[in-house]
A and B are shown apart, each in its own frame.
Chain A
Amino acid sequence: MFYRETGQFKTSYAADQQIFPIRQDRIGVILLLLVAFIVVPLVAGNYWFNAILIPFLIFSLAALGLNILTGYAGQLSLGSAAFMAVGAYAAYNFQVRVEGMPILVSFILAGLTAAGVGILFGLPSLRIKGFYLAVATLAAQFFIVWCLTKFPYLSNNSSSGVISVPGVEMLGFKFDTPQSRYLLVLTIVVVLALLAKNMVRSTTGRAWMAVRDMDVAAEVIGIRLMRTKLLAFAVSSFYCGVAGAMYAFLYLGSVEPDGFSLDLSFKILFMIIVGGVGSVLGSFLGAAFILLLPIFLDISLPALAAALHLPFDGATVSHIQLMIFGALIMFFLIVEPHGLARLWQIGKEKLRLWPFPH
């Protein structure tokens, strides 16, 4: 009844081609942004900013990066954490070695550095596909972490290889409160997410999807495989790199190469699998699911155990939390193999028909 596009006539090409062609979607997105930019900073506490919202946004961006590569261009990658590491260390080096480097420029350069490395490790994708490519990107994962540990120059000769980043400052304004950091992260993520949303429906995005669906056919209709695949690697790594730089500068404040382990790559991969492969929204839903559900279980289980007088100690709760988490992942994958984003889409289709079933 409310969610229906009937009566919305497009009278110009511009109106027809906007990112959200349905008016209700536009209103929804604007409302969501208003809540994120205005309401949340007013009501959320420090814990919410530091432990939930900032990591959620950063990992959404990383998942979005991987989703561009895996979901849209069909190139399976296990190197996302490594590209984040490149971004984090690159931003650190630009910031420490170049006097007066603006932080946003550092982030962009970090993304570009990661994009360069991504192209390099994307080269095997021209010859190998599927699971074999995943193994090739695994090499990136190990090589980059090794490289950052091996060469002290990259960590500015820190004796332990751990980098501790300088404070974030922009035009004299210090981003030292959780609110200000959150707003900075949010702005960057919103801009990049809108860019991605736009990109995947452009010629580039369509070329990626053509390659994903069948690369021989894509080549036949005139899509240059090399350019398309490498571009996907570059854009994906750019997103991961910016996410990595923010992870170091706006979230943890200090990172070590071992922190960007294969585990983290898997985590990002699970985010897009649970959230929805080939969906911008799915990256956000997946990041929320993988990051927030364990925290929620962690906080609610002891309270539940206490309420029911169950003799659980901390370790048991952690084990149970892992079991529930695993079970929920399986549940969602069985019920909806296309991820949470698909559930949302089904919901929208139902809404269109509501209140009539047919």
Chain B
Amino acid sequence: MVNKYKQLAIAASVAAACLGVTLPSAQAAEEQFFMLPSYRVGPYGANGQSWYGGFIDYLSYVNMKGGIDGVQVTWDECETEYNNAKGVECYERMKAKAQKAPGPIHVMSTGISYALVDKTAADKLPLAMMGYGLTSAVDGSVFPWAFPLVTTYQMQASAIIKFLKDRNNGSLAGKKIVFLYHDSAYGKEPILALQAESRLNKYSLIEIPVAHPGNEQGAQWQRIRQENPDYVILWGWGVMNMTALKTAQKMGFSREKMVGGWWSGSEEDVVPAGDAAKGYMSATWNVSGKNVPLIADIEKTVYGGGKGNLKDTSKLGTILYNRGVSAAVLSVEAIRTAQARYGKGKAMSGEQVRWGLENLNLTEARLKTLGATGLLPDVKTSCNNHEGSGKVKMQQWDGTKWVPLTDWIEGNKALIHPLFQADAAKYAKEKGIKPRDCSKEK
């Protein structure tokens, strides 16, 4: 009988090995493995191609420059098609390989990141959500393993309000602002922040949802025309952005009074809208263009060496490409931070990379050394603050390119961060998590 079980076990493991899933492959001594549950096909495939292209190009660039203090970077991609169940399957498939020396995991999808928050914490793998995902994870006492790095929707909304306030001589009192949003988890996230800001700044807020996918907005813009607001904040995704710009033009609403979030401010959103997009503004946490030294150097080194990931090189230097590079810069810097503490030239474990993410200090000086000055804001994280920056830049589309309008603007942290803490406390209560004491972290 024992023998039979053994045979079954052998048969099953052979079958599993044929599928190439369960057995962790033997890794060379010092390698840091990035799992990339990416998407290059499906409805948002074009966005994924630029973003993951930038991410992988920077990893290749780091390898060509000698790795992270000698530690080579490896990675595997798995297609998620922006689908939650497929994302979880990809994560489970690559998990074993990542267990030893993982890089931060980037999924570029709010839905998948929500599904992975608990799983990554249980498996002790660091999860990064840059500009999406579970924003209350800013409170690291409840979410030790999740990092909504750089900035969050709420802080972005707050920064946009600050920007509009500055444009109106420091006061928005009596103004009317329409929040036109994608009716989904993503679109609803900033509402609480905008309401808190409206109580503080005395403007009136009108929330108008657009059902997915948002390629018909006649009714919404009819309403906007009746309300005649001072500004429209656009929180769209994919085809909704283009439609909003075109409908605004048709209805005669000035695009210079429209401000978008960062998922409404890439080339993919404005180019298809043609001249309807001219004058439209949006927030971003990274700039576009190839005049950042790092991006130019990637083009020269990586594409010059024939190792570029993008097939369509015209996407080099676009907002989303540069965002992928920025995400990779932060991930690699976190590993460097961990190495500085736990041993240079060694592959870092999940726990060590987590520490690196939590004690990241990407100063202006460091950004300059990397050649990334102005590409992204400075970031300094801590146990209490997994966001680390909360800054965005405003940019305007001039018909051919995005022109930066301002320096980095920080949202109202004193107003917004307590919202995260309240939400995280509720999450901890629902899940029965005991928050750790941040003052004891070192």
Contact = CB atoms under 8 A, between A and B. Distances in A.
Contact of B431 (A149, A167, A295): A167
A96 B427 CA distance: 11
The range of chain B's interface size is 35 or more
Contact of B115 (A252, A296, A299, A314): A252
B118 A149 contact: no
B212 A258 contact: yes
Given A315-B40, A319-B41, A162 B92 contact: no
A112 B371 CA distance: 60
Contact of A162 (B20, B40, B185, B430): B185
B108 to A, nearest CB: 14
Contacts of A296: 19
B82 to A, nearest CB: 11
Contact of A314 (B21, B22, B40, B96): B40
B111 A44 contact: no
A164 B93 CA distance: 23
B77 interface: yes
Given A164-B117, A299-B21, A47 B431 contact: no
Interface stretch (A48-56, A200-208, A234-242, A336-344): A48-56
A346 interface: no
Interface in B5-45: 5, 8-9, 12-13, 16, 19-22, 38, 40-41, 45
Contact of A254 (B115, B186, B189): B115
A164 B114 contact: yes
Contacts of B96: 45-47
A42 B5 contact: yes
Contacts of B206: none
A300 interface: yes
B257 interface: no
A149 B117 contact: no
B431 A55 contact: no
B85 interface: yes
Contacts of A315: 40-41, 45, 49, 79
A160 B111 contact: no
A164 B5 CA distance: 39
Contacts of A45: 16, 21-22, 96
A166 interface: yes
Contacts of B38: 314
A300 B432 CA distance: 40
A254 B92 CA distance: 16
Contacts of A43: 8-9, 12-13
B118 A50 contact: no
Nearest to A254: B114
Nearest to A162: B185
B184 A51 contact: no
Given A258-B111, A258-B185, A298-B79, A166 B85 contact: no
A176 interface: yes
Interface in A215-244: none
A296 B88 CA distance: 15
Given A46-B92, A252-B88, A303-B20, A166 B8 contact: no
Contacts of A300: 19
B25 to A, nearest CB: 13
A166 B212 CA distance: 29
A126 interface: no
B115 A253 contact: yes
A318 interface: yes
B84 interface: yes
B41 A161 contact: no
Contacts of A42: 5, 9
The range of chain A's interface size is 35 or more
Contacts of A252: 84-85, 88, 115
Contact of B21 (A47, A149, A159): A47
B431 A164 contact: yes
A159 B16 contact: no
Given A167-B431, A259-B84, A319-B41, A299 B114 contact: no
A186 interface: no
Nearest to B114: A254
A253 B432 CA distance: 14
B148 to A, nearest CB: 13
Interface in A286-317: 295-296, 298-300, 303, 314-315, 317
A39 B8 contact: yes
B81 interface: yes
Contacts of A161: 184-185, 188
Contacts of B111: 162, 256, 258-259
A164 B21 contact: no
B69 interface: no
Interface in B181-200: 183-186, 188-189, 191-192
Which of A45, A159, A161 has the most C-beta atoms of chain B within 10 angstroms of its own C-beta?
A159
Contact of A48 (B22, B184, B189): B22
A94 to B, nearest CB: 13
A161 B118 CA distance: 18
Contacts of B22: 45, 47-48
Interface in B106-133: 110-111, 114-115, 117-119, 122
B53 to A, nearest CB: 11
B88 A51 contact: yes
B315 to A, nearest CB: 14
B14 to A, nearest CB: 11
B401 interface: no
A162 B79 contact: no
Given A44-B12, A149-B184, A318-B41, A159 B79 contact: no
Contact of B118 (A52, A254, A299, A319): A254
A159 B188 contact: yes
A285 to B, nearest CB: 19
A149 B207 CA distance: 14
A200 to B, nearest CB: 29
Contacts of A48: 16, 22
A297 B408 CA distance: 46
A258 B212 CA distance: 9
B95 A46 contact: yes
A58 B13 CA distance: 24
A47 B115 contact: no
B89 interface: yes
A146 B117 CA distance: 25
A182 to B, nearest CB: 13
A259 B22 CA distance: 28
B192 A149 contact: no
A258 B184 contact: yes
B185 to A, nearest CB: 4
9 contacts: A39-B5, A47-B93, A162-B110, A258-B184, A295-B89, A299-B20, A314-B38, A314-B77, A317-B79
Given A55-B85, A149-B183, A161-B188, 15 more contacts: A45-B16, A51-B89, A96-B430, A156-B430, A159-B188, A253-B119, A254-B114, A256-B185, A299-B19, A314-B38, A315-B40, A315-B45, A315-B79, A318-B81, A319-B41
- 3 tightest Cβ-Cβ pairs between the two chains A and B: A160-B185, A51-B92, A315-B40
